[in-house]
Structure 1
Amino acid sequence: MLPKERRALILEHLNEHEKIDIEHIAQELQVSTMTIRRDLSYLEEKDKVIRTHGGAVLNKPLVNETSFLIKENKNSAQKQLIAQIAASLVQDNSTILLDSGTTTIEIAKLLSNKKNVTVITNDVYIASVLINSEVKVIITGGELQNSVGAIFGSLTESLLKSIHVDICFLGAHAFHPEAGIMAPTFEKAAIKRLMIAAAETTYLVADSSKANEKSTVKVCDFNDINGGLITDYLEEDLHAQLCEKITIIS
């Protein structure tokens, strides 16, 4: 087998399983471990893989912040499905914390028929969705993140430290079976942790495009989300991995 063909098979394996073990792939391709190490070194030089102890992982880009206009229509059907499930969990006379994001905006749209509900949010778009409803809205103070609509900073953190809510619907830029729940900045990760601490029950609301991805800063582990993960369809292997760590509602 030519090196080019072997390396293509290694990348195919990584695309399917995300990580690779040198001993295992050497046996599978019937070559020496030294040959596989050379292949992985070559692929690392090409920025295709990242070497690890005893193997390698696929070099996937981190999920970074995107503007509201870009996110608004992305995976809209999935977000609406998630929102329907989330809204069904909201009882009358409850206080809800809605994290910034386009999925939580869809939840906000479905709260108008609830009685005596209070929404606390760090998102100006969520506030605008509820402006003509009977829902009581409290906006966290802080600095506005232009083009995104999120509010952050010390004032936001101060308010979150002083409240207690029934349910928090938490967004995520990425979640991964091993890395946990992730955010693009330290500031956003800190706010999300405070939201979890402020809530009696927290649900992670994130569509499957965020699954098996990583961002810059870890927010928390899955066992910190006591309500569960509300999402759409996940691949069978990923679903099984996540089910060991968190209740999945879909």
Structure 2
Amino acid sequence: MGKSLTADRRNQIAQILMKDGSIKVGDLSRRFSVSTETIRKDIIYLEGEGIATKSHGGAIAANDFVERPLDVKEMDHAEAKAAIAIAAMDCIPSGGVVVLDTGSTTNAIARQLLLKSGITVFTNSVTIAGVLAESDNDVYLLGGLVRSSSKATVGGWALEALSTIHADVAFLGSDGFDGLPGPSTLSYEEAAFKRKVITISDLVYTVADSSKCSSSGLFGYADWHQLDGLITDDGVASAMLNRIQKETRVIFPQPL
């Protein structure tokens, strides 16, 4: 029980750190009703995991684990994301049921779906629901707590809603997969959502540009063999590409 409480507290501290960029020992001690020494041990643990860097009176987030706002991510590798989105269209059957989770690449897929009709889309992205609201597709926004950074709904309500549907294909974003057996995300709640999506979908693809090869999130949501493919651009390093292709299909879009 003690180990479970410690792990849960450290996960929560990591999420606070990713959201706010820094933490104070005293604030966390009061928040979790534990001693400052306990919090310092938590910070030492997170520093060992490469998540935090100790600072005077607290810690700051390691750069790789700071979650950037979605509107900032939209500007990165926009051309690659647009090409990935076009390639994703070939995976959607006529009149199919699609799940899109939150992310800048799945946003690009949503924009391509504006050109389609008769598709049923389930999403936990407030942004995607807004993009597709005026399209000729049926769009369902799954309920839950809205995360400010990613504009995603998460939590038990969203997971319960997923349990009631069946999808032909799902497209999941990723914060990276460097050194991991599969894609990952910076949010524990979003990882839980992605894992549930995998169980209710016939086909599941991770969509991510090749820059994600050199980054990673805290929480893996699948191993590559659990997915039907990765849709990415041709910038993936050959060694990593070989590893991924042993586990799943890799789809490269046509250049724009």
| TM-score grouping bracket, smaller chain normalisation | 0.7 to 0.9
TM-score, normalised by the number of residues in structure 2: 0.71
Give the 3-state SS of the residue equivalent to 2:92 in structure 1: coil
- Distance in 1, matches of 2:136 and 2:117, equals 8
Counterpart pick for 1:182 among 181, 184, 197: 184
Q: Which residue of 1 aligns with 2:163?
A: 161
User: Are 1:80 and 2:82 counterparts?
Assistant: yes
User: CA-to-partner distance for each residue in 1:91-148, whole Å, 9 max, x for gaps?
Assistant: 2211100011110111111113333110000001101111211110000000111142
Give the 3-state SS of the residue equivalent to 1:79 in structure 2: helix
- Distance in 2, matches of 1:83 and 1:171, equals 12
Q: Which residue of 1 aligns with 2:8?
A: none
> Which residue type is aligned with residue 157 of structure 1?
L
Counterpart pick for 1:142 among 144, 152, 157: 144
> Which residue type is aligned with residue 103 of structure 1?
T
Query: Where in structure 2 are the equivalents of 1:28-67 lying within 5 Å?
Result: 62-67=64-69
Kindly report the root-mean-square deviation, in angstroms, between the aligned alpha carbons of the 2 structures.
2.0
Conservation of the 8 A alpha-carbon contact between 2:67 and 2:149: no
User: Are 1:195 and 2:197 counterparts?
Assistant: yes
Q: Which residue of 2 aligns with 1:206?
A: 208
> Which residue type is aligned with residue 69 of structure 1?
D
Conservation of the 8 A alpha-carbon contact between 2:181 and 2:224: no
Instruction: Report how many aligned residue pairs link the two structures.
Output: 193
Give the 3-state SS of the residue equivalent to 1:211 in structure 2: helix
- Distance in 2, matches of 1:238 and 1:63, equals 21
Unaligned runs of 5+ in 2: 1-46, 51-61
Conservation of the 8 A alpha-carbon contact between 1:142 and 1:155: yes
Unaligned runs of 5+ in 1: 1-46, 51-59
Conservation of the 8 A alpha-carbon contact between 1:120 and 1:140: yes
User: Are 1:129 and 2:139 counterparts?
Assistant: no
- Distance in 1, matches of 2:251 and 2:202, equals 18
Conservation of the 8 A alpha-carbon contact between 2:117 and 2:135: no
- Distance in 1, matches of 2:139 and 2:162, equals 14
- Distance in 2, matches of 1:242 and 1:176, equals 11
